[in-house]
Structure 1
Amino acid sequence: MELYLIRHGETDYNKERKIQGSCDIPLNEYGRELARETAEGLKDIPFDVIFTSPLCRARETAEWIARGRQIPVYEDKRLQEICFGEYEGLCCGRKGYNIPDGGAFFDTFFFDTENYQTPPGGESFEDVISRTGAFLTELLQKKEYQDKTVLLSTHGCALKAILANIYHTPVAEFWGEGVHKNCAVTHLSVKGTEFQMIEEGKIYYTPRK
């Protein structure tokens, strides 16, 4: 199996540093531009099937890549972004920060993941690793996909959780080199249960300065 992972394009919440999580926020115009350019960059990759988070920002990103091809696109909730519960819609940027926790959310979520405190009604890192891991295990067990080229359209934290399952990354090291850019693409080659990283976080567009 050739396995590709993509983070969705930009949304207004990304731009405004608002917490998205399970909020169903659409791509903005720049996000659509990124998806179009990424689709062009991937046009020669012979995808056989696409699995996507049902959240519209990931679904639309997947649809841009599938456009003009006869590729089935399937939704799976296990590819959704981590849920932040009561904190969704609040600002986590240094300017405009309005999460009622004295700044602990931002610092622990990105820089001290071992001590991250799950917001009321939200998910933990372990929760997201567990459900994305269940999806990945199921995908790898399906014989019809073992020699196929598969794309997963997902989100920043969910994508890292998939990689955490593959590399058995401890929560303390969850982010590694950091969250992937919008529409960044990661390619792995899979033989049985063995994974080879071909390329991680590749972008097919020139980022705005």
Structure 2
Amino acid sequence: MKFYIVRHGVTQWNALKKVQGAADIPLAEAGVRLAEATGKALKDVPFDICFTSPLKRARQTAELILGERKVPVIPDKRIQEIDFGVLEGTRFRDGDGKFISREMEIFFQDPRHFIRPKDGENIEDICRRTRDFWEEKITDPDLAGKTILLASHGCAVRAILQNVYEDKRDFWHGCVPPNCCVNVVEVKDGKAVLLEEDKVYA
């Protein structure tokens, strides 16, 4: 079983440094181009099935990567982005790259101490639901030996990979995953191994 775990392409809110979370923002033109380039790079990968966050930016990315391939695309809410509640739609950095929001500064710099915002989630919440998804899929006999595309989001990708990383101390594993980066994970006999990390095809 092999997973190609992809973060969605660039959106307008990414460019504006706005908090997206569960907000359903589509890809920007640059995001479409990046997803198409990723699809071209992965054109020879024999995907059997795709699981995607139901949010537009992830689903569009999956569809652009798959292109004309007749692969089932199955939305699953467990791999959609962390819900930032009342923080969604706010800017978290200014034009100089400085944090505007103390809450979001903690999210990016010390995420395990990010306090759940009103109507939102924290890191423990997203790790719990993505872990449920991951454990279900890697033990599904119908997926044994399959090649799987998984389209998700920055925080959700890192939450999924917490099930793979040997060293789990740094949630971000050095950085927020770049837009449209690909993480390749192989699962054999119940053990997951990261074969490729945060590869971007641009």
TM-score scaled by length of structure 1: 0.91
Identify which range, 10-19 or 142-151, moves more after superposition.
Answer: 142-151
SS in structure 1 opposite 2:164?
Answer: helix
Residues 179-207 of structure 1: per-residue CA shift (max 9 Å, x gap): 111100010111022111110000110xx
Q: Matched residues in 1 for 2:181 and 2:86: separation? A: 28
Partner of 1:78 in structure 2?
A: 78
Contact 1:6–1:154 (8 Å) recurs in 2: yes
2:162 is paired with a residue whose SS is helix
Checking the alignment, whether the CA contact within 8 Å between 1:86 and 1:120 is kept in structure 2 is: yes
Percent of residue pairs identical:
43
Residue matched to 1:174 = 171
- 3-state DSSP class of the match of 1:167? coil
Q: Give the match for residue 20 of structure 2.
A: 20
C-alpha contact (below 8 Å) 2:112/2:124 kept by paired residues: no
Q: 1:140-151 to 2 correspondence within 5 Å?
A: 140-151=138-149
- Alignment coverage as a number of residue pairs: 201
1:134-177 CA-partner distances (Å, limit 9, x unpaired) = 0011111211111010111000000000011223665x521111
> Structure 1 pair 127/107, CA: closer, same or farther in 2 (3 Å)?
same
1:108-136 deviation per Cα after TM superposition (whole angstroms, max 9, x unaligned): 10112232112111101000000000001
Whether the aligned pair in 2 keeps the contact of 1:129 and 1:165 (CA below 8 Å) is: no
What amino acid is aligned across from residue 8 of structure 1 in structure 2? H
Give the aligned partner of residue 132 of structure 2.
Answer: 134
Asked if structure 2 preserves the Cα contact closer than 8 Å seen for 1:53 and 1:77, the reply is yes
Q: Which runs of 5+ in 1 are unaligned?
A: none
Report the aligned-residue RMSD: 1.7
Q: Is the 8 A contact 2:62 2:151 kept in 1?
A: yes
- Matched residue, 1:44: 44
Question: Is residue 2:184 matched to residue 1:187?
Answer: yes
The verdict on how the C-alpha distance between 1:96 and 1:23 changes in structure 2, with shifts beyond 3 A counting, is farther
Is contact 1:19–1:92 with CA below 8 Å preserved after alignment?
yes
* Correspondent of 2:193 among 173, 196, 206: 196
